[in-house]
Amino acid sequence: MTLKQVVNNVAEMPASKDAVVDIKNLSLTFQTADGPVYALSDVDLTINEGDFVSFIGPSGCGKTTLLRVIADLEKPTGGDISINGVSPEQARENRAYGYVFQAPALLPWRSIERNVTLPLEIMEISKEERIKRAHDALKLVELNGFEKKFPWQLSGGMQQRASIARALSFDADLLLMDEPFGALDEIVRDHLNEQLLKLWARTNKTVAFVTHSIPEAVYLSTKIVVMSPRPGRIIDVIETDFPRDRSLDIRETPEFLEIAHRVREGLRAGHSNDE
């Protein structure tokens, strides 16, 4: 790999750099009535602990599929994948995943608090502990005070924050986010991106984040994975060296623009390949 390896803030980097996700030669082919669809082909990727990895690419490039394979929601048809050294299925059984979907997917019959405690309930954690953790998680996403509200009483951005709180509540090793802010307007999105970064800096979680916004990907990530469609594959992996507690202002710096340019170039190359 030809990666730009610049480590500025060594002190802020996690001490250990163990691979949380290790993918080798992974491929996934869907058999459909119109013939096979090559959703993923020859994917190699390592996600280290504490990484914030963004997957970017045009629709149909397999970025969501890759996330779903990591979460054991799809089975690969070839190659190897290990999460924390075990299979995705085993990792799922170990409750390693906090998944945030494109839509909030809150259960309408449960209050915000009880939505956040849902995974804890399934994991059979005691009631006092559940309520305490829900309270903490809601505080992280600045939703304290909304515990007793129902999802439909909250705005779209607040609902998505509640779903992030739900993913955080059980302290999963890996936070998987599939275009979580895709349906929100730019201002709310900026705000949530900022909050997400703070959260990531504070909790030191490993995050895999799917997006199709270049500024979002560059702003949030330590590692940007550029993907291209038909067949879905990785065409570039870019590591960034912004400090963990970066602000929105970095979007005006030359480094930011340079990385954004490289991402765009990668996306363009993937596209021309397609024609």
For other proteins, the binding residues (CB under 8 A) are: 68, 71-73, 92-95, 97-99, 101-103, 105, 107-109, 118-119, 121-123, 150, 152-153, 176
* Least distance CB 127 / other proteins (angstroms): 15
| Under 8 Å between Cβ of 26 and 47 | no
92 neighbors 111 (Cβ within 8 angstroms): no
Nearest Cα residue to 43 out of 56, 60, 30, 28: 28
> Residue 72 or 216: which CB sits closer to other proteins?
72
Q: Which is nearer to other proteins, 86 or 123 (CB)?
A: 123
Smallest distance from other proteins to CB 101, Å: 5
Given the complex with other proteins, which of 93 and 241 has the nearer CB atom? 93
Q: What is the 3-state secondary structure (H, E, C) of 215-263?
A: HHHHHHCCEEEEEECCCCEEEEEEECCCCCCCCHHHHHCHHHHHHHHHH
CA-wise closest residue to 173 among 22, 49, 72: 49
> Which residue's CB is nearer to other proteins, number 68 or number 189?
68
Distance of closest approach, residue 188 Cβ to other proteins, in angstroms? 20
Please state the closest distance from residue 210 (CB atom) to other proteins, in A: 14
